[in-house]
Structure 1
Amino acid sequence: MSDVELRAGRADDVAAVTAIYNAGIADRVATFETRPRDPHELRGWATDGQPFIVAEQDGRVLGFARAGAYSDRCVYEGIGEHAVYVSPDARGQGLGRQLLDELCAEAERHGLYKLTSRIFTDNHASLAAHDAAGFDRAGIQRRHGKLDGQWKDCVLVEKLIGEAAHD
């Protein structure tokens, strides 16, 4: 997607990011979440010091990617659990992959050595974006949770970055 600026997310992006996240909740293809969020619930994403990237075009946020702590155990400090969401009207144009590429670079600048996530097995668009961005499919987590009363399997994806990618 051309003319898109990828940049660090800011507090003034949170309302747009919340709308995009809530669209992902409503679609029922990207998250086990079922309750729409309010911007105040996500405000910490812009201030917690974790990698947080937005894609902006002509002053409008079209998508975001962020990484948070994988675990509170010190042995996992270099691993980030990530998410990427694209506005429904901007999907299918390669923006997810662009966000993932930039998130990997930002995560490396933050000292992380791996990004990981779980993707529903039927979320073909997200799987394709992760494949294109060089993520490996590490396995299937069967019946990882229920969404609307139905079991969902998840693909575990991961990508080594920074020092771990070069050893």
Structure 2
Amino acid sequence: MRVRSMTVSDGNRVVEIYGQAIKSGHATFQENPGTWEDWDQGHLSECRLVASDDNDIVIGWAGLSGVSNRCVYRGIAEISVYVDPNHHGKGVGKALLSALIAASEENGIWSLEAGIFPENEASLVLHKALGFEIVGRKRGLGRMGYGPLAGQWRDVMLLQRRSQVVGVE
């Protein structure tokens, strides 16, 4: 496996992996993955990464979204990390998240945020292992519109990783 910068030609596979995660019911409130154009518009242009196998097939991706247009929040981003289910438990997520942290700091981002369903224990463990801490729980944040939990109100755990490199004076 190798982690590299995402290219436009990776777009279809990025959307496909996102769609697989949506089917799990524990990744997002989003009901469908949309198109590459949707993904592209919803993520920052920097810090777009993919993990690929020995045949350069994309097996996971990571990216950042802005949290606000206000200037005070310019160094804060929300993370997304998704891995093909056939590659769960093989260190792909850890490699992507580690590389995303480094890339975010290289791009002047001092705080990373994540919103994770409490049932997604593997993701919570991964984030904590890489320096994220739980800073809150939004109770009944949204109602699931699909899957086995359709109609249920879901909590979301809020995690943050404050850089020890960027914004430290």
Matched residue of 1:108: which SS?
Answer: helix
What's the counterpart of residue 163 of structure 1?
166
Offset, 1:137: 0.9
Offset, 1:74: 1.0
Residues 58-112 of structure 1, C-alpha deviations (whole Å, 9 max, x = no match): 2110101101211111111100111100001000122111111100100111110
What's the counterpart of residue 144 of structure 1?
141
Offset, 1:142: 0.8
Superposition RMSD in Å: 1.6
Q: Distance in 1 between matches of 2:33 and 2:65?
A: 20
Q: How many residues are matched?
A: 162
State the TM-score, normalized to the length of structure 2: 0.89
Q: Distance in 2 between matches of 1:85 and 1:44?
A: 18
Identity of aligned residues (%): 35
1:45-60 equivalences in 2 (<5 Å): 48-58=44-54, 59-60=56-57
State the TM-score, normalized to the length of structure 1: 0.90
What's the counterpart of residue 155 of structure 2?
153
- The partner residue of 1:41 within 38, 41, 61 is 38
Q: Distance in 1 between matches of 2:35 and 2:141?
A: 26
Q: Distance in 1 between matches of 2:105 and 2:61?
A: 17
What's the counterpart of residue 27 of structure 1?
24
1:97-108 equivalences in 2 (<5 Å): 97-108=94-105
Matched residue of 2:166: which SS?
Answer: helix
Matched residue of 2:104: which SS?
Answer: helix
Q: Distance in 2 between matches of 1:84 and 1:140?
A: 20
Residues 27-62 of structure 1, C-alpha deviations (whole Å, 9 max, x = no match): 11110001232233224478x523111101121101
What's the counterpart of residue 11 of structure 1?
8
- The partner residue of 2:131 within 131, 134, 139 is 134
Q: Distance in 2 between matches of 1:39 and 1:92?
A: 26
The answer on whether the counterparts of 1:94 and 1:129 sit within 8 Å (CA) in structure 2 is no
- Alignment gaps of 5+ in structure 1: none
Residues 109-137 of structure 1, C-alpha deviations (whole Å, 9 max, x = no match): 11100100100010111111111211111
The answer on whether the counterparts of 1:135 and 1:157 sit within 8 Å (CA) in structure 2 is yes
Specify whether residues 140 and 113 from structure 1 end up closer, same or farther in structure 2 by C-alpha distance, changes over 3 A only: same
Matched residue of 2:100: which SS?
Answer: helix
